[in-house]
Structures are given as structure tokens and as C-alpha cells.
Structure 1
Amino acid sequence: MKPFIAADILLPAPQTDMGLWPALACDQFTSQPEYWQKAEALTQNAPSTLHITLPEAYLESPDVDGRIAAIHTAMADYRARVLTRGVHGFVYVERATQSGVRQGLVGAVDLEAYSYEKGSAPLVRPSENTIVERIPPRLAVRRGAPLETPHIMMLLDDAACGVVEPFAKKKAALEKLYDTELMLGGGHIAGWAVTDAADIAAVENAVAALGTQAAFDAKYPDAAGRPPLAVAVGDGNHSLATAKAHWEEIKAALPPAARQSHPARWCLVELVNIHSPALGIEPIHRAVFGVSMTELAGAFLSFAARHGAHACGMAGAQQTFCFVDETCAGPGTAERVECLKNAPWPLAVGTLDAFLTEFLAQRPGAKVDYIHGADNVRALARAGAVGVILPDFAKSDLFRGVVLGGVLPKKTFSMGHAEEKRYYLECRQIAPQTL
């Protein structure tokens, strides 16, 4: 099985304003609707992927059903008059970030090679726990949608840098598809068409080879004999899970032969090498609403003690947690840092996640949000939340952690700052119609 293959990729007509067409991943700025209001104002009279996606900031808005209906209408309109360019193959992407130029390949992942079910170990698997309750609102958008546009980033453990990186040297001979600044501080992005049959085969075969038992056993000797892993989800875990749930619904009504070619069997993603120097892996912090810092920090320390952990100083700390609220969120002020040793969970995020699961079950008026960037946590703290800033996450541990310990706790890490997340740009048809 080839888990990652070439796709029929759709792009907007050349006259489209490419500075307004791409929109930021929907799971960013979930507690800061002003970002999305600015984006809507910018794109009000222009074609934009913002009009065919649903920012999570609006998931609980009273007009969410109307927004979904408008998304489907816009998709049909864009398919007819905007998405007039087609590429069969991959798109080689270079994205300027604070850490350097992040390289990627946009193509299709086979949903038959992927599962988010607990205990499963497919070729393509999530790196974090999937919260199944987060799938239904996304599924409402995907059902009946003629198109998809991805913010999903998949990770490849390719220490030899032989899959994505070679296209940097070939790009001068490739057709450039777009080259644009991204709205609202998103930086710069450029993309080139990879359509040569030999290049396509090389990518597909190389990714498949990384998922063979022999390659897996050689790379992860401590896990030798376990089911191999070819590709892991980096960003967009729940969007890929939604695509899988949608495919399972469709597949159930199809005859076996039709299941081999239905376009909903695949999902458009960007594949990135985890060894890229420009790929920053950052912790996803927490903001808790409806509690005080004294209550939250005190309950956390009691929880940790009940599970055998001990509070300690920074010198002996195995895990650190920085609590912040409106009384200490300003520049130059102290923040409450709690340190633990002998924690029963190997990562700080696992300890915090276990605590919050228990704590929130007993506090029906409190809720948690998952925040990218410590500055955004502090901004929410100034607005009344209690922030918990987590320590840095070592990206070298990601694949090994998934291989040896299973999926990581939900919302463990983020790839880059909020504005550096993947923007929706390329599209693909997921209804069985002739392109």
C-alpha cells in the first residue's frame, strides 16, 4: 500500500488575488474572534478559502448552520468559476517562517492506511489523542461538500532528507504555481508543480519504503516487530479524523470496486520532514476559564501529590508549569511556577491533561481552551482566564514517543507560531465528478 500519493490538485485562476485567497487554519485564535473579523473584512469582496472553511471560533455561534450552508454554496461557485487550474502530482511548497524556510509536498494520504481508533497501529497514525467529540461539527461541513482544502500537515521521519528536500534543487525547472505574501502576518509562501512521472513515483515509493517492516525495525530497534509507521499527523489531527469518518460513511454505501477509486478515500495534506531545521515544535498551552489561579494551582498540586509526584525547586524539576492570571500577566511581573519530580506521566502535558480532565469534570462552570503561543496565553490571562504555560517540547522525541508509547496526550504540541500554521490554499474535489 502506498500511504501518500499524487493528487488532482485545484488552484485558483491566475487573476485571483493570491494575497487574499489563502486563509489560516481554522483551529487558530479560537478565543480571539477579532482575528477572524479582520480576515473577513479583508476578504469580503474577494475569493478566499476563508469562505469555504469554518473557523472554530464560530463553532458555537447561533448562525453556525447558516455558515455551513454558505460554505457549501461558495464551494460550488468556486469550483465552477475560480478553481480553473489543475495539477496532477504534488505541489512543492516553501513557507517562510521565523525559523527559516519550511519545505513540504502537498499530496493525498490514503485514508485506508489511517485510523484514529484507540489501540490501532496503522501505517498513517495520529501523534496525539483524537477527541471524537470534536469530529461532528467538522463532519457537518464535509458532508455534502464538493471540495476539500487542507491545513493538515503530516510528518515524515526522514533523516536522510531524501523525499521533500531534493525538490529545492529542482524548482528552477518546475512550473511556479503561486508566490505570495499571506494575510495578517502569515509570512510568505511559494509553490511549484511536481508533475514528472519519475518524480511522482520516487516520492510515492520512498514514503512507502519508510513504512516497511525492515526500515521500521532498523530505525526503531526498541520497537522491532511492532506494526510499522510511515507517516504521523503533525497539525490538523481532527480534520484528518473527520475526513476518515466521512469516508467510512461513504464507503459503507459503495460496492467494493467503487471503493478503490472514490475521491473521498483520500485527503489532501502537506507532508513535511520532521528533521527540517525550519520546523519548530512548540507546546500547546492551556487557558482555563471560570476559576481563580489559587484554586487551579492548589487543586493541581493536590492532584499531583495523590499520584505520587512531589513539589520541588527548579534545580530538581522534571516537569514545570507556569500559572499566570490577570494579577501577574503584565511585562516584568512574577508568574507562579510549580515544579514536580516523580510525576506519573512522562510529559508535562500528560500530567496537566490528566489533572484537567478530572478537575473540569467536577467544575461544570469551568472550561479549557488550547492556546498556541505564550503571548496569547498572557493576553487571555489579562482578560480573566488562568493560563498554564508548558515547557518546550523536543521534536526529536515525537516519533519515538508515538512508536514506543502510543499516541501523545491531546493537544501536546504545535508546529510553529499561530500565524505560521498551514494556510488553506490548494483544493481537491472529493465528490465523484470528472474534473
Structure 2
Amino acid sequence: MKEHVDVLGVGIGPFNLGLAALLEEGTELNCLFLEKHTSMHWHPGMLLDMTDLQVPFLADLVTFANPKSEYTFLNYLHEQERLYAFYFFNRFDIPRKEYNAYLQWVASKLTNCQFATNVTDVTYDLKNEYYLVSCENLQTNETYMLSAGHVVMGTGSKPLVPASIKESLTEDFVHSSQYIQNSEDLKAAGSITIVGSGQSAAEIFYDLLHDQERFGYSLSWFTRSAGFFQMEEGKLGIEMFSPEYVEYFHELPFSQRKEALPLLGSIRNGIQVKTLKNIYDLLYHRSIESPHRPAHIQAMCELNEIKRLDSKSYDLTFHQWQKDSNVSHHSEKIILATGYKPAIPEWIEQMRNEFEWESEKEFKVELDGRLVFKEPRKAQIFALSNVVHAHGTGATNLQLAVQRNQRIVNYVTGEETYPISRGNTFQQF
């Protein structure tokens, strides 16, 4: 046994990084957060120029818990001597590249984060009431074991590819998460098709539309959604990201929570208004001197079948579900902006009989993310992934990740280390 820690975090994304900062700054607990990648990188494949975070800068890692923290975004700007520049920038949102740089800055300052370390297994020691955690240092190949009083699963998500086309994919199909790494190869093709209608799909479409005249490819954009709709950005609408709404949602029966999620689609998904405006404006300007549309854009079309035509191109069959007809489309390169699914570690699956499940794929969690064990135990596992069914709109929201982390810290310390703010909304839930 190498050492014992009070809290062990598995994975270092924004959620666990924020928790690491709150624990290091506000408690005396011995904590360690492990990440298999060699450094902190947040969605590197989508760090496009002129793209912004979808939440204001106040939704950083710590501000809603402790605005006096050393790890606020404003303090990052201060230490980078960028505070005046940001003031003159005069924006509430921040560039996505700068958010990534902020995360890297926080990770570099914390002493409880360790990279290039893979957690290969987690088991529960019933006698000692702690978890045994098997680790591998990916740089030295050393394997060792830790014990932990609590474990926080922050393993994030992984690309989602529709099952109907998964077996037909080749190197010409690129998930949006790998867009930047493959953009040069994509733009060298004669035709490019984007599948999907969220923010990532829109940003990729705009980037490709911007460079279309320089490279000369034809461009298409399909989605199975009913349209290319904007995200809800109204002030009353975004109160759904409040702690009060998360508490209300969590108390609903599972069946009602599942029924409510599609109704919240415009809040959870959709495209930013400014992104849609930029796309339309560019399309309009391109149309002035050309009788042809700059791109093929079509909704209500689900990609069902892929056939290779030759060494360079594919026949894509889309089902137009409203007319119940098929649309055939040819393309050399295809970008799948089809979203993500929770990355659940194998060691969680091996424990599945130890805790309660609300469905075959959705485990039962408390408001602070604790898994609900069939036999109550002192040592807890907190889940930051796969909790949309339990926390609704706030499950993947950066602002509410801070509130959830406050609850985790308060639980493991046994006191209100970071009090939860109340009375935040004008509407009642």
C-alpha cells in the first residue's frame, strides 16, 4: 500500500478540478486527483478561434462557492496581467481557448492533482471501510495501490456514434471531438458533410463555411432534429440552472424526471443565437454573387446507412422522418457531431450489484452525487458523470458543477464548509 487519502478523484476535467481546488483551499483533508492524460486539456478538438464558453466567466471553478478564492478566473487574469485587457474586451463570456488556459493554470497551482496516472481498478474493503485503488504510472509503468475514504468519479464523457452506422465507419469519418486535429485533411477534400445540430456542429459548419472559398469543397449539414434551433438564453429560462431547480428536479419521481428532460431540450441543447446569426450572415453575403446556395442544409434527416462508392467517396442514406422518405447524398469526408455519452469505468460496472439503479444504465444518486448503496456504508462514491437523469439541466453545466462540489465538500467534512446559496430565483419550483 503506497498511501491513504481521504478523497480520491478519478479523472481531472473541470468538475473534478474545481473540487480539487475547493478541497485544497478550504479543508485539511488529504486528497488526490488522478488523470491518465499527461496534462490538462479541455476539449482540444473544439478550441476554435472566435468561439466562446456557453456560460459567463463567473461560472469558473470556484467563484460561486468562494469568490475570494485564489483560483477564480479573475485572479487568473490578474496573475497573467490580462485584467485590463479583459475589462476593455467588455464581455461576460470568455473565449474557449482562454477557459482552457485558465484550467491549465489552476491545475499547475494545485498540489493534489497528478497526471499520467491511470486508475485501473477500485474495490471496497468491507473490513477497513475504505476503497482499494489500483493505479498505474503511465510514464514509469509503475503499478501501486492506494486506499481512499471516498472516491469521486469524474471520468467525463466519450464520443457517441449511432449504433446503426458504427460498423460502417472508416478513417474518413471524424467525430467533432477530433475536428481541429483533422481539419487540414478534411479541408483538402472535395466534399464535406456534417451530421448533427448542436453547438459543436454549428461551430464546425461556420469554420468550414468561412474557409470554403479558399479550399473549394462543397459543404452539407444534416440533422435528425426538427430544425436548427437556438439555445434558450432568456433570463427566466436560465433560472433552470439554479440550485433551487436542481433540488426540485431531483425530488421528482424517476419517471417524471425522464419525461421532463425532452421538454428542457432548448435549455440543455441548441445553438447559441450569435452563432446562428454569424452563420446566416455569412450565407447571405456568399449568396450575393452566386446563384447557387453556398451549402446544403437539411433537418429531419437521420443517417441510417453508409455505402462506399469508390476510394474517395460515400453514399449516405438519410431517412427524412417527417415525410418517411430517404435522401441519398454523396460525400468524401463526414464529421459526426453526434454528441457524447458518459464514460463509465469498468470498476463501476463490476460494483453494479452493490448500489441501486433507476434503469439499466442510470444509477440512483443523491443530490450531492453519492451513489445509493443497497447496504449503507461509511465510504462513499460520488458520481460527476451519468447524472443527467438525477440533476436535469444542471448535470453538465459548469456553473452548477460548483454547487455540486460544494455539497461533496460539505459531506466529506461533515460541516457547511461552503454554504449553499438560497433565494436565487424569481420564479418558484
Considering the TM-score relative to the shorter chain, is it more than 0.5? no
TM-score after normalising by structure 2: 0.25
Q: Which has the higher contact order (CA 8 A, sep 6+)?
A: 1
Structure number with bigger Rg: 2
TM-score after normalising by structure 1: 0.25
